[in-house]
């Protein structure tokens, strides 16, 4: 009892004396700031946390973005036992202790164990191997946090069994929210003290923290605790105090990690793209971070052969001479030849004619027994998993071996680090470089990020893949072609949240389910019966990967206000169009859209009714004059009914008035319908729409039905001609305010 009392007192003292960054650590997802790409309402990780089905996770990102905090939030939401280790302090013995305890909990009480390992990359290969069997058999669920690239620093077997999430540096708006919370929270921040901060000081703290919440809060704590109160009892933080509290932005750079590879990649691509300003910026970043200049010179020699080549044979000579000069004079004066080599490569003509070496390689590859010894092979990095480098435009694919694109960070667009002179070699290129700089600024202003940074990756989903294949096999080629046309040219993102309208069939959901592994799919069913039928078809799927089924547009209101959809789509039947033409329907949908949300809708309508189809098939050739007269009357009536069917044209006013900018595509399809009893009943069965129209609008419906059924039965087992008109509505959503400001 006494020990417990002292322990409780010690814990209270620790919490009271803990740094501000630790005291303000969020305790729930609602308090968590930033990382909307993976934690927004409706996205996979948030759903998994809420359902307590997180599984093995690796959280990867720079310091101060919430990796450990997110793990603690998961601990607060889970019904499993939660343990944690720090890989800097723990060893194999500690791992064995955790494994033994986890095994006993599972065997004796059926209680799962989640083990959180901070700085998991600090475990050596043997320590990581010791985890693998217990993660494999489910004794432990692993959550690892690392600032390093897990594909490079974590056991590949662990990576393959885990879902990876990349956390990004926080946005300035996120840091501003944290700063406001720190100043107003009476329990964990400075809400119970009189503290004021000037706008200039706050802006400086946010800017220099550079996306690192811990850095921001540590600087604020230093400023508050080291500043005396004034006569009013208030701590006033001005720009001078803020600058003393956080003086310099940390350059995040690990010579063996992503920053090393990504920065040299940006430098080389800036040289290839003839952007001297960006080349100097990335060069300065590497030098400031302590990169070895010899490594930089080696890469510039490669660029001189690969990207300049024979267009300027002097390039390799200049770089080699600058490297030799650097060896003689060293730093800091060696910065001159280093910059001279970079500027020369950026400004000179470009050619990739030396690519002919690959033709020689192709010849060599045809020989047998050419395997590279294992100690000479280079491990693949994570380009395919995270999409790094996507969207880069290769200058050699364009005329003059140059294309206007962005090389500097977005925040530095327009900065001119190099001003070319008028003399000699430099003067000859001055006008061209200034023209290219202007073209790049124009391109950056109009750029659209078609290849955003992917923030997560995970193991394969064999259950989902098998289910998708079974669903694909159930529908004919014609419907598969329509499905592909519906979703054609839509650039899926893994984190997209998709709302499917007209939920009668899962066919139209197959593409979204395969594409949005970290997002989610919601299907708006036409009726409760449709919802129950689709629910039964989805039972084989893991609940975490099943789409959410809603019955009727009113159930959209059951979603959280923050649950927004990036894609709206589906195939609408005539019954769906009757509802979807209503303005209120699209107002409800728009309340869950983002500006820029994309639309893909398919609308199909027949051009022949059963009477007209019978005539075209020749089934009516032997009819007597009286029956022919009845048939022609039916055909006339069918055409009138078909002309009044809803189409995308009727839908368009409601869509446009709620902010959708649209394009409408038309095409026709001719096909033969297999004439079997289900098809006949679909037209003439009790309660079917076609039969209801006959019974409502015809003078002798029984005679009409008898004639049609006789004609259709004569063709049973054959085919009946049909023509369909299809419409595909595509577009994107603007808020009404944005729509008004855009003008006509």
| CATH number for the domain harbouring residue 221 | 1.10.8.60
Beta strands in 413-547 (DSSP E): 456-457, 497-503, 520-525
Return the CA Rg of the chain: 33
Statement to judge: residues 645 and 555 lie in one domain: yes
In CATH, what number is assigned to the domain containing residue 116?
A: 3.40.50.300
The answer to whether residue 718 is domain-embedded is yes
Closest CA to 33 of 167, 190, 219, 189: 167
pLDDT, tens digit, 9 for 90 and up, residues 22-56: 787 888 888 788 877 887 788 877 888 888 788 88
The share of the chain scoring above pLDDT 70, in percent, equals 79
The answer to whether residue 56 is domain-embedded is yes
Q: Kindly tell me if the per-residue pLDDT of 734 is higher than 80.
A: yes
Q: What was the pLDDT predicted at 656?
A: 85
The packing angle between helices 677-684 and 689-697, to 10°, is 40
411 vs 484: which has the higher pLDDT: 484
Predicted TM-score (pTM) of the model is: 0.62
The answer to whether residue 366 is domain-embedded is no
Statement to judge: residues 190 and 320 lie in one domain: no
CB 646 within 8 A of CB 574: yes
Give residue 659's pLDDT band: very low, low, confident or very high (50, 70, 90). Answer: confident
32 vs 457: which has the higher pLDDT: 32
Q: What was the pLDDT predicted at 13?
A: 58
Statement to judge: residues 687 and 723 lie in one domain: yes
- By DSSP bridging, strand 719-733 and strand 593-606 are antiparallel
Statement to judge: residues 412 and 473 lie in one domain: no
**Beta-carbon contacts of residue 410 (< 8 Å; ≥ 6 apart):** 444
**Beta-carbon contacts of residue 336 (< 8 Å; ≥ 6 apart):** none
Q: Kindly tell me if the per-residue pLDDT of 376 is higher than 50.
A: no
Q: Which residues of 20-34 are buried (b: 16+ CB within 10 A; e: fewer)?
A: bbebbbbeebeebbb
Q: What was the pLDDT predicted at 522?
A: 92
Torsional sign, CA 229, 230, 232, 238: negative
Q: Which two three-digit tokens encode residue 419?
A: 């001003």
477 vs 633: which has the higher pLDDT: 633
The answer to whether residue 19 is domain-embedded is no
CB 271 within 8 A of CB 306: no
Give residue 604's pLDDT band: very low, low, confident or very high (50, 70, 90). Answer: confident
Give residue 521's pLDDT band: very low, low, confident or very high (50, 70, 90). Answer: very high
CB 386 within 8 A of CB 255: no
Q: Kindly tell me if the per-residue pLDDT of 77 is higher than 50.
A: yes
Q: Kindly tell me if the per-residue pLDDT of 713 is higher than 70.
A: yes
Statement to judge: residues 190 and 297 lie in one domain: no
Q: Mean pLDDT across the stretch 208-232?
A: 80
Q: What was the pLDDT predicted at 358?
A: 63
Q: Kindly tell me if the per-residue pLDDT of 389 is higher than 70.
A: no
What integer best gives the mean pLDDT of the chain? 77
Statement to judge: residues 466 and 437 lie in one domain: no
The answer to whether residue 296 is domain-embedded is yes
Give residue 186's pLDDT band: very low, low, confident or very high (50, 70, 90). Answer: confident
Q: What was the pLDDT predicted at 379?
A: 39
Among residues 399, 417, 446, the one where a domain terminates is 446
What domain range includes position 209?
184-245
Statement to judge: residues 79 and 206 lie in one domain: no
Statement to judge: residues 404 and 488 lie in one domain: no
Query: What is the rounded distance in angstroms from the CA atom of residue 100 to the CA atom of residue 29?
Result: 31
Statement to judge: residues 41 and 147 lie in one domain: yes
Q: Mean pLDDT across the stretch 340-366?
A: 73
Question: Which stretch of 326-330, 352-356, 592-596, 707-711 has the lowest confidence by average pLDDT?
Answer: 352-356
Q: Kindly tell me if the per-residue pLDDT of 459 is higher than 70.
A: no
In CATH, what number is assigned to the domain containing residue 324?
A: 1.20.272.10
The answer to whether residue 160 is domain-embedded is yes
Q: How many domains does the chain have?
A: 4
Statement to judge: residues 543 and 692 lie in one domain: yes
Statement to judge: residues 224 and 264 lie in one domain: no
Among residues 218, 245, 272, the one where a domain terminates is 245
The answer to whether residue 483 is domain-embedded is yes
Statement to judge: residues 484 and 428 lie in one domain: no
How does DSSP assign 126-148, residue by residue? Answer: HHHHHHHHHHHTTS-EEEEEESS
The answer to whether residue 453 is domain-embedded is no
Q: What was the pLDDT predicted at 87?
A: 79
């Amino acid at each position: 009892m006494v020990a417990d009392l002292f322990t409780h007192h010690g814990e209270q003292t620790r919490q009271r004396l803990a740094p501000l960054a630790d005291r303000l650590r969020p305790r729930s997802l609602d308090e968590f700031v930033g990382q909307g790409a993976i934690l927004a309402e409706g996205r996979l990780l948030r759903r998994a946390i809420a359902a307590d089905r997180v599984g093995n996770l690796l959280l990867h990102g720079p310091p101060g973005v919430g990796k450990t905090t997110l793990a603690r939030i998961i601990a607060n939401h889970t019904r499993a036992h939660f343990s944690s280790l720090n890989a800097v302090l723990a060893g194999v013995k500690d791992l064995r202790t955790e494994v033994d305890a986890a095994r006993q909990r599972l065997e004796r009480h059926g209680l799962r164990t989640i083990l959180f390992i901070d700085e998991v990359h600090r475990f050596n290969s043997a320590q990581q191997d010791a985890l693998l069997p217990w993660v494999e058999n489910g004794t432990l669920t692993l959550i690892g946090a690392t600032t390093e690239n897990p594909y490079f620093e974590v056991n590949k077997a662990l990576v393959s069994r885990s879902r990876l999430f990349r956390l990004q540096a926080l946005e300035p708006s996120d840091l501003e929210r944290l700063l406001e919370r720190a100043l107003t929270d009476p329990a964990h921040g400075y809400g119970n003290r009189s503290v004021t901060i000037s706008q200039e000081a706050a802006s400086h703290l946010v800017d220099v923290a550079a996306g690192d919440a811990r850095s921001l809060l540590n600087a604020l704590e230093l400023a508050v605790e080291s500043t005396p109160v004034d006569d009013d009892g208030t701590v006033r933080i001005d720009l001078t105090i803020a600058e003393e509290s956080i003086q310099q932005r940390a350059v995040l750079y690990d010579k063996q990690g992503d920053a090393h590879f990504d920065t040299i990649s940006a430098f080389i691509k800036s040289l290839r793209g003839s952007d001297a300003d960006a080349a100097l910026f990335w060069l300065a970043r590497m030098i400031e971070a302590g990169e070895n200049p010899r490594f930089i010179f080696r890469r510039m020699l490669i660029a001189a052969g690969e990207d300049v080549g024979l267009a300027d044979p002097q390039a390799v000579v200049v770089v080699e001479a600058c490297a030799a000069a650097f060896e003689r004079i060293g730093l800091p004066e060696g910065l001159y030849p280093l910059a001279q080599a970079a500027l020369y490569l950026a400004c000179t003509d470009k050619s990739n004619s030396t690519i002919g070496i690959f033709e020689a390689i192709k010849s060599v590859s045809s020989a047998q027994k050419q395997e590279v010894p294992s100690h000479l092979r280079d491990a693949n990095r994570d380009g395919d998993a995270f999409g790094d480098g996507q969207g880069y435009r290769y200058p050699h694919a364009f005329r003059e071996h140059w294309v206007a694109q962005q090389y500097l960070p977005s925040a530095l667009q327009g900065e001119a680090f190099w001003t070319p002179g008028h003399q000699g070699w430099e003067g000859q290129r001055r006008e061209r470089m200034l023209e290219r700089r202007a073209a790049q600024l124009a391109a950056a202003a109009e750029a659209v990020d078609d290849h955003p940074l992917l923030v997560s990756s995970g193991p394969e989903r064999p259950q989902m893949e098998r289910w998708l294949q079974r669903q694909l096999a159930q529908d004919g080629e014609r419907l598969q072609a329509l499905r592909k046309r519906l979703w054609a040219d839509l650039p899926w993102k893994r984190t997209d949240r998709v709302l499917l309208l007209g939920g009668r069939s899962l066919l139209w959901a197959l593409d979204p389910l395969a594409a949005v592994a970290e997002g989610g799919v919601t299907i708006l069913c036409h009726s409760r019966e449709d919802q129950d039928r689709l629910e039964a078809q989805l039972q084989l799927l893991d609940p975490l990967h099943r789409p959410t089924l809603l019955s009727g547009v009113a159930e959209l209101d059951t979603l959280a206000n923050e649950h927004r959809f990036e894609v709206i789509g589906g195939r609408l039947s005539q019954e769906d169009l009757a509802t979807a033409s209503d303005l209120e329907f699209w107002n409800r949908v728009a309340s869950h859209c983002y500006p820029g949300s994309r639309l893909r809708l398919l609308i199909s309508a027949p051009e022949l009714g059963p009477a007209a189809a019978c005539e075209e098939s020749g089934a009516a050739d032997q009819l007597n004059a009286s029956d022919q007269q009845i048939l022609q009357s039916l055909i006339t009536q069918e055409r009138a009914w078909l002309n009044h069917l809803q189409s995308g044209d009727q839908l368009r006013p409601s869509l446009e008035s709620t902010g959708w900018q649209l394009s409408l595509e038309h095409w026709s399809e001719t096909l033969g319908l297999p004439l079997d009893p289900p098809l006949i009943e679909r037209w003439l069965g009790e309660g079917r729409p076609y039969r209801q129209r006959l019974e409502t609008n015809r003078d002798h419906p029984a005679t009409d039905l008898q004639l049609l059924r006789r004609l259709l039965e004569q063709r049973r087992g054959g085919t009946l001609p049909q023509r369909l008109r299809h419409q595909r509505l595509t577009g994107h959503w603007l808020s009404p305010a944005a729509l008004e400001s855009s003008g006509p």
